[in-house]
Amino acid sequence: MFKEATLPEGFPKPGPVGEIIVKEYPAYRLARVQAREGVVERTSSSMFRPLFDHIKRNDIPMTAPVEMGYASSDNTPGDGSEWGASSMAFLYGQRSWGQPGADEADQRVVVDDVSAMTVVSIGVRGSYTDARFESARAKLIAWTIANKQRVRIVGPPRYLGYNSPFVPWFLRYGEVQIPIQITERAGVGDDL
């Protein structure tokens, strides 16, 4: 895996490609841009630039991953046929940096605090595509169904991208994740 930037403080290391694992994330701070009202973002460039300008203007170092959020809370594409990012976020390296609220220079950028969370995650290799995202998300949904006595989904899926556009598409690494709540711990030796 190629990773050009450091992880935010306390973040777990990226997981293995193709393997479903449960991960714990600490509370963290991020700068987020929402997709324009009624627009499914087919490319991330319209959200990337305001975020890049924000961290440059505020002297915030770039971290990896970049977080792509999805609006669907029922874990199905909003229009029934395709996925599209509803937000993009740059994660702050330390939660103490910056202040929550809208960026004065660009109101589209909002700094926010995110609570600690548990996710079910799968690592993916290759450039981001809707088909790759959906394939990974479907595996996570199948895992949560198989473990429905012990976990429940508590939020929409997200994609964490760890590489810059300079990394060749076939080497890029990301994770598709779904926030979960563990309702019952398993016995010794189980992955929950």
Residue 140 lies in a domain: no
- 105: Cα separation from own chain's centroid: 25
Dihedrals phi, psi of 10, to nearest 5 degrees? 85, 0
Give the count of domains, the chain: 1
Cβ atoms of residues 24 and 10 within 8 Å? no
Residue 3 lies in a domain: no
67 vs 70: CA distance, rounded Å: 10
Residue 56 lies in a domain: yes
Residue 17 lies in a domain: no
pLDDT cut 70: percent of the chain above it: 83
The reported pLDDT for the residue numbered 79 is 42
Residue 147 lies in a domain: no
The reported pLDDT for the residue numbered 184 is 75
- DSSP assignment of 15-46: PPBT-EEEEEE--EEEEEEEPPTT--BSSSHH
Residue 186 lies in a domain: no
* Structure-block tokens of residue 17: 């490609």
Average pLDDT, integer, range 11-35: 96
Residue 9 lies in a domain: no
Residue 141 lies in a domain: no
- DSSP assignment of 58-126: TTPPPBSPEEEE---SSSS-TTSS---BSEEEEEPSSTTSS-SEE-SS-TTEEEEEE--EEEEEEEEES
* Structure-block tokens of residue 82: 């395709």
Query: What's the pLDDT band for 191 if we cut at 50, 70, 90?
Result: low
Supply the range of the domain harboring residue 35: 27-115+123-128+156-178
